[in-house]
Amino acid sequence: MATYFTGDTHFGDQRALRFDHRPYSDLAAHDDGLIAAWNATVAPDDIVWHLGDFALGPSRARIREILAGLNGEKHLIVGNNDGVDTVEAPGWASVRHYAETQVEGRMIVLCHYAFRTWNGMSRGALNLHGHSHGKLKPMPKQYDVGVDPMGPAPVGLSAILASRLRRKA
Percent of the residues in the chain that have a pLDDT greater than 90, as a whole number: 90
Supply the pLDDT for residue 169.
Answer: 43
Task: Residue 134: give the domain boundaries.
Answer: 3-168
DSSP conformation letters of 100-151: EEEETTEEEEEESS--SS-TTGGGT-EEEE-SSTT-SPPPTTEEE-SHHHH-
Half-sphere exposure of 153 (CA within 13 A, CB side): 13
| Chain centroid to CA 10 | 10
Query: What is the edge-to-edge ordering of all strands in the sheet holding 92-96?
Result: 3-6, 47-50, 73-77, 92-96
CATH code where residue 112 lies: 3.60.21.10
- Provide the whole-model pTM: 0.95
The set of residues, in sequence order, having a beta carbon less than 8 Å from that of 48 and lying 6+ positions away, is: 3, 4, 5, 6, 38, 42, 70, 71, 72, 73, 74, 75, 154
Half-sphere exposure of 156 (CA within 13 A, CB side): 9
Q: What's the distance, CA 111 to chain centroid? A: 10
> Span 5-28, mean pLDDT?
93
Taking 70 as the threshold, does the pLDDT of residue 5 lie above it? Answer: yes
Chain-centroid distance, C-alpha 7: 2
**54 or 17, higher pLDDT:** 54
Residue 168 predicted with pLDDT over 60: no
Best CA proximity match to 36, nearest among 71, 10, 61: 71
- Number of domain units in the chain: 1
Q: How far apart are CA 63 and CA 109, in angstroms?
A: 26
Tens-digit pLDDT profile for residues 42-94: 999 999 999 999 999 999 999 999 999 999 999 999 999 999 999 999 999 99
Angle (nearest 5°) at CA 33 between 145 and 101: 25
In this model, does residue 166 exceed pLDDT 90? no
